[in-house]
Structure 1
Amino acid sequence: MTISDPDFVPGVELSGALYEEAVRPILRDVFPGLRYTAARVGSGSEVLGFDTARSADHEWGPRLELFLAPADRDRYGADIRLLLAERLPKRVRGWPTNFRRSDDPLDPVGRMLPTEGPVDHRVDVHEAGAWLSERLGLEWAGAVPADREWLTVPQQRLAEVTGGAVFRDDLGVLTAARGALAWYPEQVWRYLLACQWQRISQEEAFVGRCAEVGDDLGSALVASRLVRDLMRLCLLLERRYAPYGKWLGSAFGRLAVAESLAPSLRGALAATEYRVREGHLGDAYEAVARMQNAVGLTDPVDPGRRPYHSRPFLVLRAERFARALARTVTSPELRGLPLVGGVDQWADSTDLLGRPDAVQAMARSLGRGVPERAGQ
């Protein structure tokens, strides 16, 4: 397939067409009365709403997740997959429903490929509870996770579960889970905000210190890290889960604050002189500090920049915001924790964050994960 043929449509729309025009009538005819959920959730740029024509080169196309009750999944799951392989149309909205699965371990992706035979489709059949447990790394039992459990789930995973679209939900499990996971409980939110301000406080003075010793490249590098942390902080303040690196800027660009804040962030990244870089960062610090005050979670904190101790570097002293927020954390599960935060505030390896078992093990080692169950 090429990215110009056929005309691009957003992937979630394409998945909806696959369900309405093909999967739904087939299931109605062969399994009348079957209760199920049909959705496009999980991995994929289309679930987050960031797909473009370029996305069609791999792991994109007419895809769907079907969720059955546990007994129905065991009884009908394999039959449904075979049925759809035989009866799905070869194309939906011009896009092939057949995927060629790569045997190359260095390129293990699926790509759409026309076929005249049975369709190797991407309609996957799951049981909702098991799927949620696998995606989140938690034992999903239908209840809102405990406060400390939230800290072990990457925001990318939360976005994948709560994004996309649900086309039908007879079972109600997925819709209930999406509602429960739509955003952090307030105490978790307060704690994560405190931790994000703490991250900024740890490096804001280094922009000047690196420049002072003649390391302008190092100064620019630290500034870029601070820009990233400010963007993630804005997503937290506007109650949006932060996606992984490829889509972080796109997600930030959809925020209400983006238009006014982006010039300062771009200026800090583009600056070739320290004082210019410091000025743009200071403007950004103050703007985000005012955002924090406007949310009303703490008494107002002075949003003005100031010297770093006796050194000639102008910073926000972001720890003031971290401490103010930390004082409002009353959850017994969170109030005694260091200001380290959720897993993607202290780790950003894609390979790690994509392995819930490894994330849970690391979180337990830091004393804030889900307690290990007997026998594990």
Structure 2
Amino acid sequence: MSAKTKVGLFMDNCEHGQGLSLVEQYFTDVALPLLEKDFSEYMPYLAAGLVGPGSECWGFDDAFSRDHDWGPQFCLWVSSSISKEALSALHAWYKNLPVDFDGMPSSNMQAPDLFRYGVIKVADFFYVHAGLSEKPDSWQTWNKKELVLSMMTNGKVFFDNAGEFTAWRKHLQGFYPEELRLKKLAARCFISGQSGQYNLPRLVKRKDIHGIRWAEFTFASTICSLYHLLQKAYCPYPKWELASVARLDATGLVLAKKIQELLTAPEQYKVQLAEDIAQFVEKALLSHFPLISYNGALMPFSEQLNKLIRDASLAQAPLYCF
């Protein structure tokens, strides 16, 4: 592929990442003084910040993000021990806060009952977004999608007087148990090898455009997830996963550029570019798992990773569950 091909790379063409700092400034300058004045007795039970599904929580928001669910809105997390009366009073207080700040109005915000912002009990926040009623302590309870846990560990906590929200965050930021990480890596090796090293060459020979697009995207997306797992980082939404890989480290930036080249290359170059990516990732895998033998294919890597798992129930579980 010609090096002269020009495409937008990882949002570099847009000014981005301003939403979270705007929210923090709004909270510090506007909301916090009012909160301390009106509800000083409740302060020991509260935490505030912005965490969750919004692009600004990952720092990937840009000018195009401002048409919906963007602006000076924050989460006020409430300890489970607070009274119903106090909770109702805080809800009413939040609804009366100014919706514009520094020339930036809130845009088409979702209803507070979707738990994207507003007054939210800590337990409700993690249950609604992650399906967790208690902190996970086994591979079965930890086996959540990376996106879900990425949402629970992104963004920023502005303050946490009760410590309840921060305790949840720290637990989830500790990442998956090692054997579950191995299982997920095994699953990613299998799917990426199947889509990129097996299916893609066959589909290119058949000139099946739809199949080629499916195989290359499946391969690229799975490689993004695999590299996040190697770095013990949760992968975000597919639309941001490539930009996230580029931010992980210098090797991630190189990998992201290789994936970008694959996705924008003419069909006749895709098979070799996918193979180059597979070899690049295999070297990264071997640096983490040096005792594994290497034969140039990702799918056999999956079986070898699975053999490192000592928990019989986890080792025998189907890869598609991970």
Category of TM-score, reference length = shorter chain: 0.7 to 0.9
Structure 1 or 2, whichever has the larger Rg, is 1
Q: Greater shift after overlay, 257-266 or 162-171? A: 257-266
1:208 matched to 2:201? The reply is yes
Give the superposition deviation at 1:160: 1.3
For residues 262 and 126 of structure 2, what CA distance do their matches in structure 1 show? 40
TM-score by length of 2: 0.83
1:43 matched to 2:35? The reply is no
SS at match of 2:190: helix
Give the superposition deviation at 1:255: 2.8
For residues 73 and 333 of structure 1, what CA distance do their matches in structure 2 show? 43
1:12 matched to 2:3? The reply is no
> 1:177 corresponds to which letter in structure 2?
W
For residues 282 and 123 of structure 1, what CA distance do their matches in structure 2 show? 44
Q: Which of the residues 91, 102, 106 maps onto 1:81?
A: 91
Show the counterpart of 2:186: 194
> 2:54 corresponds to which letter in structure 1?
G
Structure 2 counterparts to residues 209-228 of structure 1, below 5 A:
209-215=202-208, 218-219=211-212, 221-228=214-221
Show the counterpart of 1:357: none
Specify which structure has the higher proportion of helix.
2
For residues 138 and 89 of structure 1, what CA distance do their matches in structure 2 show? 33
- Compared CA separation, residues 335 and 73, structure 1 to 2 (3 A): farther
Give the superposition deviation at 1:327: 0.8
Note the residue ranges of structure 1 that are not aligned, 5 or more in a row: 1-6, 102-108, 111-121, 305-315, 343-376
- Could you list the per-position Cα deviations for residues 91-118 of structure 1 after superposition, in whole angstroms to 9, with x for gaps in the alignment? 3222236x666xxxxxxx57xxxxxxxx
TM-score by length of 1: 0.72
Show the counterpart of 2:100: 91
CA contact (8 A) 1:235 1:252 kept: yes
- Compared CA separation, residues 284 and 84, structure 1 to 2 (3 A): closer
> 1:159 corresponds to which letter in structure 2?
S
For residues 80 and 161 of structure 2, what CA distance do their matches in structure 1 show? 14
Show the counterpart of 2:123: 129
SS at match of 1:334: helix
For residues 226 and 89 of structure 1, what CA distance do their matches in structure 2 show? 46
SS at match of 2:71: coil
Structure 2 counterparts to residues 40-119 of structure 1, below 5 A:
40-72=50-82, 74-86=84-96, 88-89=97-98, 91-96=100-105, 109=110
Structure 2 counterparts to residues 1-376 of structure 1, below 5 A:
10-34=18-42, 35=44, 36-72=46-82, 74-86=84-96, 88-89=97-98, 91-96=100-105, 109=110, 124-140=118-134, 143-151=135-143, 153-182=144-173, 183-203=175-195, 204-215=197-208, 218-219=211-212, 221-256=214-249, 257-274=251-268, 276-296=269-289, 299-302=291-294, 304=296, 316=297, 318-342=298-322
Give the superposition deviation at 1:58: 0.9
Give the superposition deviation at 1:51: 0.9
CA contact (8 A) 1:17 1:92 kept: no
For residues 171 and 163 of structure 2, what CA distance do their matches in structure 1 show? 12
Number of residue pairs matched by the alignment: 299
> 2:123 corresponds to which letter in structure 1?
G
For residues 57 and 120 of structure 2, what CA distance do their matches in structure 1 show? 18
For residues 96 and 269 of structure 1, what CA distance do their matches in structure 2 show? 36
For residues 66 and 204 of structure 2, what CA distance do their matches in structure 1 show? 44
Give the superposition deviation at 1:20: 1.4
SS at match of 2:159: strand
Give the superposition deviation at 1:341: 3.8
- Compared CA separation, residues 271 and 126, structure 1 to 2 (3 A): closer
- Compared CA separation, residues 67 and 200, structure 1 to 2 (3 A): same
Give the superposition deviation at 1:260: 2.4
